[in-house]
Chain A
Amino acid sequence: MSSFNSTIAVTGLNATDNPGPGVAVIRSLRADPEFHGRIIGLAYDSLEPGIYAADLADDVFLIPYPSQGSEALAARLTEIQKRAGLDVVIPTLDAELPLFISLEAQLADMKVGTFLPTRDQLDLRSKAHLAALRGKVEIPVPATKVINDASELYEIHREISYPFFLKGLYYGAYRATSVDEAVHAFHRVVAQWGLPVIVQEEVRGDELDVVAVGDGRGGLVGAVAMRKTFLTDKGKGWAGIAIHDPVLMRLTEQLMGALRWRGPCEVEVVATKDGGYHLLEVNPRFPAWVYLSAGAGINLPSAVARLAAGHEVKPMRDYRVGTMFVRISLDQIASLEDFERITTYGELRRSAGSAQ
Protein backbone atom coordinates (compact mmCIF):
# COMPACT_ATOMS: atom_id res chain seq x y z
CA MET A 1 0.00 0.00 0.00
CA SER A 2 1.04 3.57 -0.51
CA SER A 3 2.48 5.98 2.00
CA PHE A 4 -0.05 7.31 4.41
CA ASN A 5 0.35 10.01 7.03
CA SER A 6 -2.99 10.93 8.52
CA THR A 7 -3.71 11.57 12.16
CA ILE A 8 -5.89 8.70 13.29
CA ALA A 9 -7.93 8.54 16.47
CA VAL A 10 -8.85 5.16 17.93
CA THR A 11 -11.19 4.37 20.83
CA GLY A 12 -11.34 1.31 23.08
CA LEU A 13 -8.06 1.52 25.01
CA ASN A 14 -9.60 -0.60 27.77
CA ALA A 15 -7.23 -3.53 27.33
CA THR A 16 -8.49 -5.34 30.42
CA ASP A 17 -9.19 -9.05 30.87
CA ASN A 18 -12.13 -8.45 28.57
CA PRO A 19 -10.24 -6.22 26.21
CA GLY A 20 -11.52 -3.50 23.94
CA PRO A 21 -10.01 -3.67 20.46
CA GLY A 22 -8.31 -0.25 20.50
CA VAL A 23 -4.82 -1.40 21.46
CA ALA A 24 -4.85 -4.09 18.78
CA VAL A 25 -6.06 -1.60 16.17
CA ILE A 26 -3.30 0.86 17.09
CA ARG A 27 -0.63 -1.85 17.02
CA SER A 28 -1.86 -2.88 13.57
CA LEU A 29 -1.62 0.71 12.32
CA ARG A 30 1.89 0.95 13.74
CA ALA A 31 2.78 -2.30 11.97
CA ASP A 32 2.02 -0.77 8.59
CA PRO A 33 5.45 0.26 7.24
CA GLU A 34 3.82 2.86 4.99
CA PHE A 35 2.08 4.59 7.86
CA HIS A 36 3.87 7.77 8.93
CA GLY A 37 1.03 9.58 10.64
CA ARG A 38 0.15 10.16 14.27
CA ILE A 39 -2.15 8.19 16.49
CA ILE A 40 -4.50 9.65 19.05
CA GLY A 41 -5.97 7.39 21.69
CA LEU A 42 -9.48 8.26 22.83
CA ALA A 43 -10.34 6.98 26.31
CA TYR A 44 -13.34 7.13 28.59
CA ASP A 45 -11.58 6.62 31.88
CA SER A 46 -8.18 7.67 33.22
CA LEU A 47 -7.29 4.08 34.02
CA GLU A 48 -7.75 2.55 30.60
CA PRO A 49 -4.53 0.55 30.26
CA GLY A 50 -3.81 1.59 26.68
CA ILE A 51 -3.30 5.18 27.83
CA TYR A 52 -0.08 4.23 29.62
CA ALA A 53 1.70 2.41 26.80
CA ALA A 54 4.10 5.06 25.55
CA ASP A 55 4.71 3.30 22.20
CA LEU A 56 1.03 3.14 21.25
CA ALA A 57 -0.70 6.51 21.12
CA ASP A 58 1.18 9.75 20.49
CA ASP A 59 -1.47 11.66 22.38
CA VAL A 60 -4.39 10.55 24.49
CA PHE A 61 -7.58 12.48 25.15
CA LEU A 62 -10.52 11.63 27.33
CA ILE A 63 -13.89 11.76 25.59
CA PRO A 64 -17.38 11.82 27.12
CA TYR A 65 -19.28 8.59 27.59
CA PRO A 66 -21.78 7.69 24.88
CA SER A 67 -24.51 8.16 27.46
CA GLN A 68 -23.67 11.87 27.55
CA GLY A 69 -25.03 12.25 24.04
CA SER A 70 -23.85 13.38 20.65
CA GLU A 71 -23.53 17.08 21.36
CA ALA A 72 -20.93 16.41 24.04
CA LEU A 73 -18.90 14.07 21.85
CA ALA A 74 -19.03 16.40 18.85
CA ALA A 75 -17.82 19.29 21.00
CA ARG A 76 -14.97 17.24 22.40
CA LEU A 77 -13.85 15.93 18.99
CA THR A 78 -13.90 19.48 17.64
CA GLU A 79 -11.66 20.53 20.51
CA ILE A 80 -9.30 17.59 19.93
CA GLN A 81 -9.09 18.37 16.24
CA LYS A 82 -8.19 21.95 17.04
CA ARG A 83 -5.55 20.93 19.56
CA ALA A 84 -3.98 17.93 17.90
CA GLY A 85 -5.31 17.65 14.35
CA LEU A 86 -7.61 14.81 13.40
CA ASP A 87 -8.15 13.18 10.02
CA VAL A 88 -9.78 9.85 10.80
CA VAL A 89 -11.68 8.29 13.70
CA ILE A 90 -12.01 4.54 14.19
CA PRO A 91 -14.53 3.69 16.93
CA THR A 92 -14.06 0.15 18.19
CA LEU A 93 -16.77 -0.41 20.80
CA ASP A 94 -20.30 -1.69 20.13
CA ALA A 95 -22.04 0.79 22.38
CA GLU A 96 -20.45 3.86 20.81
CA LEU A 97 -21.34 2.98 17.21
CA PRO A 98 -24.86 4.46 17.12
CA LEU A 99 -23.37 7.70 18.35
CA PHE A 100 -20.51 7.85 15.83
CA ILE A 101 -22.90 6.88 13.05
CA SER A 102 -25.19 9.74 14.01
CA LEU A 103 -22.19 12.09 13.89
CA GLU A 104 -20.85 10.82 10.56
CA ALA A 105 -22.02 13.77 8.46
CA GLN A 106 -20.95 16.31 11.04
CA LEU A 107 -17.51 14.71 11.22
CA ALA A 108 -17.28 14.74 7.44
CA ASP A 109 -17.98 18.48 7.51
CA MET A 110 -15.08 18.81 9.93
CA LYS A 111 -12.95 16.81 7.46
CA VAL A 112 -12.75 13.88 9.82
CA GLY A 113 -13.14 10.63 7.91
CA THR A 114 -14.94 7.53 9.15
CA PHE A 115 -15.76 4.19 7.58
CA LEU A 116 -18.94 3.07 9.28
CA PRO A 117 -22.10 1.10 8.52
CA THR A 118 -25.45 2.90 8.32
CA ARG A 119 -27.84 2.78 11.21
CA ASP A 120 -30.07 0.32 9.34
CA GLN A 121 -27.16 -1.99 8.62
CA LEU A 122 -26.19 -1.79 12.26
CA ASP A 123 -29.69 -2.81 13.36
CA LEU A 124 -29.98 -5.55 10.76
CA ARG A 125 -27.10 -7.47 12.29
CA SER A 126 -28.02 -6.70 15.88
CA LYS A 127 -28.37 -9.70 18.12
CA ALA A 128 -32.07 -8.94 18.35
CA HIS A 129 -32.49 -9.41 14.61
CA LEU A 130 -30.04 -12.18 13.90
CA ALA A 131 -32.82 -14.65 13.18
CA ALA A 132 -33.86 -12.44 10.28
CA LEU A 133 -30.62 -13.38 8.54
CA ARG A 134 -31.95 -16.92 8.13
CA GLY A 135 -32.26 -17.64 4.49
CA LYS A 136 -29.94 -14.80 3.54
CA VAL A 137 -26.88 -16.84 4.46
CA GLU A 138 -26.48 -20.53 3.82
CA ILE A 139 -25.61 -21.61 7.34
CA PRO A 140 -28.14 -21.93 10.17
CA VAL A 141 -28.70 -19.27 12.79
CA PRO A 142 -29.39 -20.57 16.32
CA ALA A 143 -32.87 -20.04 17.70
CA THR A 144 -33.01 -16.64 19.41
CA LYS A 145 -35.73 -14.83 21.24
CA VAL A 146 -35.78 -11.26 22.44
CA ILE A 147 -37.35 -10.83 25.85
CA ASN A 148 -38.22 -7.80 27.93
CA ASP A 149 -39.54 -9.46 31.04
CA ALA A 150 -38.08 -12.18 33.25
CA SER A 151 -41.49 -13.85 33.43
CA GLU A 152 -41.08 -14.88 29.81
CA LEU A 153 -38.32 -17.21 30.96
CA TYR A 154 -40.85 -19.51 32.60
CA GLU A 155 -42.28 -20.38 29.20
CA ILE A 156 -39.21 -20.20 27.10
CA HIS A 157 -38.16 -23.85 27.27
CA ARG A 158 -41.01 -24.56 24.85
CA GLU A 159 -39.09 -22.69 22.20
CA ILE A 160 -35.44 -22.91 23.26
CA SER A 161 -34.25 -25.78 25.39
CA TYR A 162 -31.71 -25.58 28.18
CA PRO A 163 -28.88 -24.84 28.35
CA PHE A 164 -29.03 -21.52 26.55
CA PHE A 165 -27.30 -18.15 26.63
CA LEU A 166 -28.69 -14.82 27.80
CA LYS A 167 -27.02 -11.89 26.12
CA GLY A 168 -27.14 -8.13 26.41
CA LEU A 169 -27.81 -6.11 23.31
CA TYR A 170 -24.22 -4.90 23.27
CA TYR A 171 -22.14 -7.18 25.45
CA GLY A 172 -22.34 -9.83 28.08
CA ALA A 173 -23.35 -13.47 27.83
CA TYR A 174 -24.37 -15.86 30.59
CA ARG A 175 -25.14 -19.53 30.25
CA ALA A 176 -28.23 -20.87 32.00
CA THR A 177 -29.16 -24.47 32.64
CA SER A 178 -32.37 -23.84 34.58
CA VAL A 179 -35.08 -21.25 35.10
CA ASP A 180 -33.41 -20.06 38.28
CA GLU A 181 -30.11 -19.48 36.57
CA ALA A 182 -31.86 -17.87 33.64
CA VAL A 183 -33.75 -15.40 35.85
CA HIS A 184 -30.56 -14.59 37.74
CA ALA A 185 -28.68 -14.07 34.48
CA PHE A 186 -31.54 -11.95 33.12
CA HIS A 187 -31.20 -9.51 35.98
CA ARG A 188 -27.43 -9.39 35.65
CA VAL A 189 -27.67 -8.55 31.98
CA VAL A 190 -30.35 -5.91 32.58
CA ALA A 191 -28.39 -4.31 35.39
CA GLN A 192 -25.41 -3.81 33.13
CA TRP A 193 -26.74 -3.44 29.62
CA GLY A 194 -30.43 -2.74 30.01
CA LEU A 195 -33.29 -4.24 28.05
CA PRO A 196 -33.92 -6.17 25.93
CA VAL A 197 -32.22 -9.47 26.70
CA ILE A 198 -31.53 -11.96 23.96
CA VAL A 199 -31.95 -15.66 24.65
CA GLN A 200 -29.92 -17.77 22.28
CA GLU A 201 -29.83 -21.53 21.86
CA GLU A 202 -26.51 -23.06 22.79
CA VAL A 203 -24.59 -24.66 19.97
CA ARG A 204 -21.55 -26.64 21.00
CA GLY A 205 -18.43 -26.95 18.98
CA ASP A 206 -15.27 -25.18 17.92
CA GLU A 207 -15.43 -21.42 18.00
CA LEU A 208 -14.40 -19.87 14.73
CA ASP A 209 -14.08 -16.20 14.13
CA VAL A 210 -13.66 -14.01 11.10
CA VAL A 211 -12.54 -10.43 11.08
CA ALA A 212 -13.82 -8.78 7.94
CA VAL A 213 -14.13 -5.39 6.30
CA GLY A 214 -17.04 -4.70 3.96
CA ASP A 215 -16.89 -2.01 1.29
CA GLY A 216 -20.51 -0.85 1.81
CA ARG A 217 -21.56 -1.89 -1.67
CA GLY A 218 -21.94 -5.56 -0.88
CA GLY A 219 -18.31 -6.46 -1.46
CA LEU A 220 -15.61 -7.77 0.82
CA VAL A 221 -12.43 -5.75 1.22
CA GLY A 222 -10.66 -8.47 3.12
CA ALA A 223 -11.10 -11.06 5.83
CA VAL A 224 -9.06 -13.37 8.04
CA ALA A 225 -10.55 -16.52 9.56
CA MET A 226 -9.29 -17.81 12.88
CA ARG A 227 -9.91 -20.73 15.18
CA LYS A 228 -9.64 -20.06 18.90
CA THR A 229 -7.13 -22.50 20.31
CA PHE A 230 -7.21 -21.42 23.93
CA LEU A 231 -10.14 -20.04 25.87
CA THR A 232 -10.01 -18.36 29.26
CA ASP A 233 -12.45 -19.34 31.97
CA LYS A 234 -14.62 -16.47 30.78
CA GLY A 235 -14.69 -17.94 27.31
CA LYS A 236 -12.45 -15.29 25.78
CA GLY A 237 -10.10 -16.42 23.04
CA TRP A 238 -6.57 -16.08 24.43
CA ALA A 239 -4.81 -17.78 21.55
CA GLY A 240 -5.81 -18.58 18.00
CA ILE A 241 -4.59 -19.56 14.58
CA ALA A 242 -5.33 -18.21 11.13
CA ILE A 243 -7.07 -20.86 9.07
CA HIS A 244 -8.06 -21.44 5.48
CA ASP A 245 -11.78 -22.18 5.45
CA PRO A 246 -13.66 -21.69 2.18
CA VAL A 247 -17.06 -22.16 3.85
CA LEU A 248 -16.37 -19.40 6.34
CA MET A 249 -15.12 -17.11 3.61
CA ARG A 250 -18.21 -17.75 1.52
CA LEU A 251 -20.39 -17.06 4.55
CA THR A 252 -18.55 -13.82 5.18
CA GLU A 253 -19.01 -12.77 1.56
CA GLN A 254 -22.71 -13.61 1.75
CA LEU A 255 -23.06 -11.53 4.90
CA MET A 256 -21.30 -8.55 3.38
CA GLY A 257 -23.64 -8.86 0.41
CA ALA A 258 -26.82 -9.30 2.45
CA LEU A 259 -26.01 -6.46 4.84
CA ARG A 260 -24.12 -4.25 2.36
CA TRP A 261 -21.82 -3.85 5.30
CA ARG A 262 -19.48 -0.88 5.42
CA GLY A 263 -16.55 -1.02 7.80
CA PRO A 264 -15.07 -3.62 10.09
CA CYS A 265 -16.91 -6.49 11.70
CA GLU A 266 -16.38 -9.76 13.49
CA VAL A 267 -18.34 -12.84 12.46
CA GLU A 268 -18.62 -15.48 15.15
CA VAL A 269 -19.39 -19.03 14.10
CA VAL A 270 -19.53 -22.40 15.83
CA ALA A 271 -18.48 -25.52 13.95
CA THR A 272 -20.24 -28.58 15.37
CA LYS A 273 -18.71 -32.06 15.48
CA ASP A 274 -20.79 -33.20 12.52
CA GLY A 275 -19.15 -30.56 10.38
CA GLY A 276 -22.08 -28.10 10.48
CA TYR A 277 -21.65 -24.35 10.92
CA HIS A 278 -23.86 -22.01 12.94
CA LEU A 279 -23.77 -18.23 12.86
CA LEU A 280 -23.62 -16.86 16.41
CA GLU A 281 -23.10 -13.14 16.12
CA VAL A 282 -22.01 -10.38 13.80
CA ASN A 283 -20.24 -7.70 15.84
CA PRO A 284 -20.07 -4.27 14.20
CA ARG A 285 -16.41 -3.55 14.94
CA PHE A 286 -12.94 -5.05 14.97
CA PRO A 287 -12.35 -7.90 17.43
CA ALA A 288 -9.66 -7.54 20.08
CA TRP A 289 -7.54 -10.10 18.21
CA VAL A 290 -7.40 -8.07 15.01
CA TYR A 291 -3.62 -7.69 15.27
CA LEU A 292 -3.53 -11.22 13.85
CA SER A 293 -4.70 -9.79 10.54
CA ALA A 294 -1.65 -7.55 10.39
CA GLY A 295 0.56 -10.44 11.46
CA ALA A 296 -0.89 -12.70 8.81
CA GLY A 297 -0.24 -10.21 6.05
CA ILE A 298 -3.49 -8.34 5.46
CA ASN A 299 -3.64 -5.35 7.70
CA LEU A 300 -7.36 -4.68 8.03
CA PRO A 301 -7.15 -1.77 10.53
CA SER A 302 -4.82 -0.01 8.16
CA ALA A 303 -7.23 -0.72 5.31
CA VAL A 304 -10.10 0.84 7.27
CA ALA A 305 -8.01 3.88 8.19
CA ARG A 306 -7.15 4.39 4.51
CA LEU A 307 -10.75 3.95 3.40
CA ALA A 308 -11.86 6.42 6.06
CA ALA A 309 -9.28 8.87 4.78
CA GLY A 310 -10.77 8.50 1.31
CA HIS A 311 -8.01 6.38 -0.21
CA GLU A 312 -8.59 3.40 -2.48
CA VAL A 313 -7.91 -0.05 -1.10
CA LYS A 314 -7.68 -3.07 -3.35
CA PRO A 315 -9.38 -6.27 -2.18
CA MET A 316 -7.05 -8.25 0.07
CA ARG A 317 -7.36 -12.00 -0.07
CA ASP A 318 -4.11 -13.86 0.64
CA TYR A 319 -2.97 -14.17 4.20
CA ARG A 320 -0.50 -16.48 5.85
CA VAL A 321 -2.54 -19.45 7.06
CA GLY A 322 -1.06 -20.88 10.24
CA THR A 323 -0.10 -17.52 11.73
CA MET A 324 -0.82 -17.76 15.43
CA PHE A 325 -1.48 -15.25 18.15
CA VAL A 326 -0.94 -15.88 21.84
CA ARG A 327 -2.07 -13.08 24.10
CA ILE A 328 0.01 -11.94 27.04
CA SER A 329 -0.80 -9.98 30.17
CA LEU A 330 1.95 -7.79 31.51
CA ASP A 331 2.23 -5.00 34.00
CA GLN A 332 3.30 -1.66 32.64
CA ILE A 333 5.03 0.85 34.85
CA ALA A 334 3.05 4.07 34.77
CA SER A 335 4.02 7.42 36.21
CA LEU A 336 1.89 9.30 38.69
CA GLU A 337 2.49 12.41 36.55
CA ASP A 338 0.84 10.78 33.52
CA PHE A 339 -2.07 9.77 35.72
CA GLU A 340 -2.32 13.29 37.09
CA ARG A 341 -2.31 14.80 33.60
CA ILE A 342 -4.99 12.54 32.23
CA THR A 343 -7.09 12.90 35.36
CA THR A 344 -6.90 16.63 35.83
CA TYR A 345 -6.49 17.88 32.27
CA GLY A 346 -8.13 15.02 30.36
CA GLU A 347 -5.18 14.71 28.03
CA LEU A 348 -1.70 13.32 27.74
CA ARG A 349 0.44 14.80 24.99
CA ARG A 350 3.49 12.76 24.06
CA SER A 351 3.95 14.01 20.52
CA ALA A 352 6.84 16.33 19.75
CA GLY A 353 6.14 20.02 20.16
CA SER A 354 3.11 19.52 22.32
CA ALA A 355 2.23 22.28 24.71
CA GLN A 356 2.81 20.43 27.94
Chain B
Amino acid sequence: MDGHNKLRDLAVSDSGFVFDPYTGSTFSVNLTGLTILRGLKEGHGREDIVGELQTGFAAGDADYHRDLDEFVGQLRNQGLLPLDFSVER
Protein backbone atom coordinates (compact mmCIF):
# COMPACT_ATOMS: atom_id res chain seq x y z
CA MET B 1 0.00 0.00 0.00
CA ASP B 2 1.55 3.31 -0.88
CA GLY B 3 1.56 6.29 1.38
CA HIS B 4 -0.84 8.44 -0.59
CA ASN B 5 -3.55 5.88 -0.33
CA LYS B 6 -3.13 5.66 3.38
CA LEU B 7 -3.36 9.42 3.79
CA ARG B 8 -6.54 9.44 1.76
CA ASP B 9 -8.12 6.85 4.04
CA LEU B 10 -7.19 8.51 7.30
CA ALA B 11 -10.22 9.77 9.20
CA VAL B 12 -9.42 13.33 10.26
CA SER B 13 -11.92 15.27 12.34
CA ASP B 14 -12.11 19.02 12.94
CA SER B 15 -11.04 18.48 16.51
CA GLY B 16 -7.66 17.24 15.28
CA PHE B 17 -8.46 13.61 16.05
CA VAL B 18 -6.94 11.26 13.47
CA PHE B 19 -7.81 7.60 13.02
CA ASP B 20 -5.77 5.19 10.91
CA PRO B 21 -8.18 2.41 9.88
CA TYR B 22 -5.36 0.14 8.74
CA THR B 23 -3.63 -0.06 12.13
CA GLY B 24 -6.29 1.18 14.54
CA SER B 25 -3.88 3.85 15.77
CA THR B 26 -5.28 7.23 16.75
CA PHE B 27 -3.50 10.57 16.88
CA SER B 28 -3.98 14.18 17.83
CA VAL B 29 -2.76 16.92 15.56
CA ASN B 30 -2.66 20.64 16.24
CA LEU B 31 -4.28 23.21 13.93
CA THR B 32 -1.26 23.83 11.74
CA GLY B 33 -0.65 20.09 11.48
CA LEU B 34 -4.30 19.65 10.54
CA THR B 35 -3.92 22.18 7.74
CA ILE B 36 -0.90 20.38 6.34
CA LEU B 37 -2.47 16.94 6.73
CA ARG B 38 -5.59 18.04 4.85
CA GLY B 39 -3.45 19.60 2.14
CA LEU B 40 -1.44 16.42 1.72
CA LYS B 41 -4.63 14.31 1.65
CA GLU B 42 -5.89 16.39 -1.22
CA GLY B 43 -2.56 16.17 -3.02
CA HIS B 44 -1.62 19.84 -2.69
CA GLY B 45 1.98 20.75 -3.44
CA ARG B 46 4.49 22.54 -1.26
CA GLU B 47 3.69 26.08 -2.34
CA ASP B 48 -0.04 25.53 -1.90
CA ILE B 49 0.38 24.17 1.61
CA VAL B 50 2.77 26.91 2.65
CA GLY B 51 0.28 29.42 1.25
CA GLU B 52 -2.50 27.86 3.36
CA LEU B 53 -0.34 28.19 6.46
CA GLN B 54 0.48 31.79 5.60
CA THR B 55 -3.10 32.86 5.09
CA GLY B 56 -4.65 30.67 7.77
CA PHE B 57 -2.60 31.75 10.77
CA ALA B 58 -1.33 34.87 12.43
CA ALA B 59 2.33 34.19 12.05
CA GLY B 60 5.36 35.65 13.69
CA ASP B 61 8.54 34.92 11.83
CA ALA B 62 7.86 31.23 11.19
CA ASP B 63 9.96 29.17 8.80
CA TYR B 64 7.12 27.40 6.97
CA HIS B 65 9.29 25.23 4.74
CA ARG B 66 11.34 23.92 7.66
CA ASP B 67 8.16 23.24 9.66
CA LEU B 68 6.48 21.49 6.73
CA ASP B 69 9.47 19.21 6.22
CA GLU B 70 9.68 18.48 9.91
CA PHE B 71 5.98 17.61 10.04
CA VAL B 72 6.31 15.30 7.06
CA GLY B 73 9.17 13.66 8.97
CA GLN B 74 6.80 13.12 11.90
CA LEU B 75 4.20 11.53 9.59
CA ARG B 76 6.88 9.19 8.22
CA ASN B 77 7.96 8.34 11.78
CA GLN B 78 4.38 7.48 12.68
CA GLY B 79 4.05 5.21 9.68
CA LEU B 80 1.49 7.44 7.98
CA LEU B 81 3.71 8.16 4.99
CA PRO B 82 6.22 5.92 3.21
CA LEU B 83 9.81 6.48 4.25
CA ASP B 84 10.80 7.88 0.87
CA PHE B 85 8.01 10.45 0.79
CA SER B 86 8.80 14.13 0.64
CA VAL B 87 6.91 17.17 -0.56
CA GLU B 88 8.48 18.11 -3.84
CA ARG B 89 10.04 21.55 -4.16
Contact = CB atoms under 8 A, between A and B. Distances in A.
Q: Do chains A and B make direct contact within the complex (CB under 8 angstroms)?
A: yes
Interface of A: 336, 339-340, 343-345
Interface stretch (B14-22, B67-75, B76-84): B14-22
Interface in B1-51: 13, 15-17, 19, 26, 28
A336 B28 contact: no
Which DSSP category, helix, strand, loop or mixed, fits chain A's interface?
Answer: helix
Contacts of A344: 15-17, 28
A87 B67 CA distance: 46
A34 to B, nearest CB: 39
Given A340-B13, A344-B16, 11 more contacts: A336-B19, A336-B26, A339-B26, A340-B15, A340-B26, A343-B17, A343-B26, A343-B28, A344-B15, A344-B17, A344-B28
A345 B15 contact: yes
Contacts of A343: 17, 26, 28
Interface residues of B, number: 7
A345 B17 CA distance: 10
Nearest to A340: B17
A118 B48 CA distance: 61
B29 to A, nearest CB: 10
Contacts of B28: 343-344
7 contacts: A336-B26, A340-B15, A340-B17, A343-B17, A343-B26, A343-B28, A344-B17
A343 B28 CA distance: 8
Nearest to B13: A340
A331 to B, nearest CB: 15
Contacts of A336: 19, 26
A225 B26 CA distance: 44
A344 B30 CA distance: 10
Q: Which 10 pairs across A and B sit closest by C-beta, in order of nearness?
A: A340-B17, A344-B15, A344-B17, A344-B28, A344-B16, A343-B28, A336-B19, A340-B15, A343-B17, A340-B13
A52 to B, nearest CB: 15
